[in-house]
Each structure stands twice: as structure tokens, then as C-alpha cells.
């Protein structure tokens, strides 16, 4: 079984979605059966596969694919005749609302709180962004901790663990059986949880350079009114999010390739720790769904016989 295909995934409602370079498969447990949906992806051009560009492209792609997968899996449990298919506009609106919510909770609110603590961004940018970054991380931890008590979220976290066990089993080049997959860790270095933490960490360094960069680009910046300066500095953060995501994506890929390197080992360790919350030990039924999705994708990618 070749292992050249990097496979990623996502937990969905009562199932798992797996994604290869050119295909996706969603496997859902329903009434004692596994229902599978598969789809071919459009192959990206060479430009879109370039380092740093690919991080932004893949992030947008997985957000769209992941949202569609969640909607499809949820629709499998809607009463017959009542299934509601969301249009492309509805999916786009869902993503926009989710993005605005994330910006409000994890960017705007920490930014305001840091100012209220008396730390000034222009005069002490490093301390400001360390404080701001720590508040963001605390908010993320609290958010994940509290939603983990919701029953449906706990089940979702079990499927998340099943997804990781299946991928870890595949990457170890072992036969894709429930018995083999159960032996592997429910954490994985390339998980989106690790990606989020790396984004927060890289953000601290990049955001610290904003006041200096803005002042250099526009010497009259300090003469502007206080509210105008705050708006420019804040929206500069929003504008730099794609760059931070791109850098974080490349670091995550490299760290997964060289997990024993001391630097990358330290970088991914917090994400692995956080996965102790975002993943739960799955049962046989849940692992079966993850393996079904994985085998389907590998067959489509010609990586599984």
C-alpha cells in the first residue's frame, strides 16, 4: 500500500470526511449501515500548488468542503421528504457568518481587552501582542473546553479521534483494519487544531511588526486621530491573516515531515496537547466509518488495493 498520498480529514455528523489530493469521501453511520458519498476534486494548477500560495488556497478549499460535508451528513438524519439542500449562496453566507464570529471573538475582543489592560500597541508592540496572543489562546481553550460538554460535540470529538487513528494507521503502512487502527494515537501532528495554535503563535510575531511597518509606509501616521490609528492598525491585522495562515500551513507541513526535529517538535506539541480535548477515544463503529472513508479516498487516489 503506497503511502505517498497525504490524507487529511474532518469529523462530520455521525461520520468522517477524508480528503486526498484529488478526491473526497464522506462515510456516515446510519441505521446500522455506512453510507458513503464520494466526489472528485478539480486538480489545482501549478501556481496554486506553490509554497505559501497553496496554504491560502487549501484553507479556503477545506472550509468550503468541510461545510458542505457537515451539511450533507446532517441531511442524512433529516426526516424523509424534509431534506433541505443549501444553495451556494447559503453555504457562502454560513462561512461568512462563521468567519465574522471568529474575528469578533478571537481577534477584535482580545485586541480591545489588551488596550483596556493599559498596554499600548505603538509604544510596546511586542508586549502588546504577547498579551493579545495569550488572551486569544485562553479564549480558544475556554471555547473548546465548554463545548466539549455538549453531548453531540463529544460524539463529534470521538469521530475526530477515529479519523486520526485511521490516518495514523495508513501512514504507518499497516492494514486498514479496526484492530490495527485502535492501536494508534487519536492525535495527529497535521490536525487543524495544531494549525490554529500555530496561527496564533505566528500572529504574535507578525502583528508585532505592524506599527513599525505602518509608520514606515506612512510617516504621517502618528499625526492621525486616535480612532483612525486604531482602525488602521486593527484592519492591518485582518489583511495579514492570509499571510499568517500561509506561513502556518508551511510550518505545519514541515513539522509533520520532521517530527523529531527539536524546533518542530516544540512547535507542534501544544497542538497535540489541545487534541487531548478535541479528540475522544472512538468505538469500533466510529473507527469503521473513518476507515471506510479512508479506503474510498485511497481507492480513488489509486493508493489502496
pLDDT digits (tens, 9 = 90+) for 263-287: 888 888 888 899 999 999 999 999 9
Least confident segment among 18-22, 89-93, 130-134: 89-93
- Residue 301: predicted pLDDT: 86
**CA nearest to 241, candidates 106, 92, 94, 89:** 106
pLDDT digits (tens, 9 = 90+) for 195-229: 888 898 899 999 999 998 999 998 889 899 989 99
Is pLDDT of 18 > 90? yes
What mean pLDDT comes out for the span 158-179?
95
Is pLDDT of 25 > 60? yes
- Residue 98: predicted pLDDT: 84
Question: Grid coordinates representing 128?
Answer: 502588546
Is pLDDT of 88 > 70? no
Is pLDDT of 6 > 90? no
Where do the H-state alpha helices sit in 176-225? 178-182, 192-208, 210-217
- Residue 129: predicted pLDDT: 93
Spatial neighbors of 193 by CB under 8 A, at least 6 apart, are 271, 274, 275, 278
- Residue 266: predicted pLDDT: 85
Q: How many Å separate Cα 23 from the centre of its chain?
A: 18
- Residue 1: predicted pLDDT: 37
Question: Grid coordinates representing 73?
Answer: 451528513
Share of the chain above pLDDT 70, in %: 94
Is pLDDT of 71 > 90? no
Question: Grid coordinates representing 276?
Answer: 487531548
**E strands within the chain?**
8-12, 15-19, 23-30, 33-40
- Residue 2: predicted pLDDT: 40
Question: Grid coordinates representing 136?
Answer: 486569544
**CA nearest to 290, candidates 156, 187, 166, 161:** 166
- Residue 305: predicted pLDDT: 43
Among 7-21, 40-54, 79-93, top mean pLDDT goes to: 7-21
Query: Collapsing DSSP states into helix, strand and coil, what is residue 46?
Result: coil
Quote the mean pLDDT of the chain. Answer: 88
Is pLDDT of 172 > 50? yes
Is pLDDT of 237 > 60? yes
Angle (nearest 5°) at CA 41 between 44 and 301: 100
Amino acid at each position: 500500500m503506497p503511502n505517498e498520498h497525504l490524507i487529511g480529514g474532518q469529523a462530520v455528523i455521525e461520520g468522517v470526511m477524508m480528503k486526498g489530493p484529488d478526491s473526497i469521501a464522506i462515510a456516515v453511520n446510519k441505521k446500522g449501515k455506512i453510507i458513503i458519498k464520494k466526489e472528485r476534486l478539480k486538480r489545482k494548477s501549478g501556481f496554486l500548488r506553490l509554497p505559501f500560495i497553496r496554504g491560502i488556497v487549501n484553507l479556503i478549499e477545506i472550509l468550503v468542503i468541510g461545510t458542505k460535508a457537515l451539511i450533507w451528513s446532517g441531511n442524512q438524519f433529516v426526516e424523509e421528504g424534509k431534506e433541505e439542500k443549501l444553495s451556494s449562496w447559503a453555504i457562502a453566507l454560513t462561512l461568512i457568518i462563521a468567519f465574522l464570529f471568529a474575528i469578533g471573538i478571537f481577534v477584535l475582543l482580545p485586541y480591545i481587552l489588551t488596550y483596556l489592560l493599559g498596554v499600548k500597541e505603538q509604544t510596546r508592540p511586542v508586549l502588546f501582542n504577547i498579551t493579545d496572543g495569550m488572551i486569544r489562546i485562553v479564549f480558544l481553550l475556554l471555547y473548546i473546553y465548554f463545548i466539549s460538554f455538549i453531548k453531540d460535540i463529544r460524539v463529534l470529538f470521538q469521530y475526530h479521534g477515529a479519523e486520526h487513528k485511521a490516518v495514523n494507521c495508513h501512514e504507518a503502512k499497516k492494514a486498514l483494519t479496526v484492530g490495527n487502527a485502535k492501536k494508534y494515537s487519536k492525535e495527529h501532528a497535521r490536525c487543524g487544531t495544531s494549525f490554529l495554535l500555530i496561527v496564533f503563535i505566528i500572529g504574535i510575531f507578525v502583528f508585532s511588526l505592524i506599527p513599525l511597518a505602518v509608520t514606515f509606509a506612512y510617516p504621517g501616521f502618528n499625526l492621525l486621530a486616535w480612532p483612525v490609528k486604531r482602525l488602521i492598525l486593527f484592519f492591518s491585522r485582518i489583511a495579514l491573516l492570509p499571510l499568517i495562515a500561509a506561513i502556518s500551513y508551511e510550518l505545519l507541513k514541515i513539522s509533520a515531515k520532521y517530527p523529531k526535529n527539536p524546533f518542530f517538535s516544540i512547535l507542534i506539541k501544544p497542538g497535540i496537547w489541545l487534541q487531548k480535548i478535541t479528540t475522544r477515544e472512538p468505538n469500533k463503529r466510529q473507527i469503521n466509518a473513518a476507515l471506510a472513508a479512508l479506503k474510498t479516498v485511497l481507492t480513488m487516489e489509486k493508493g489502496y488495493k
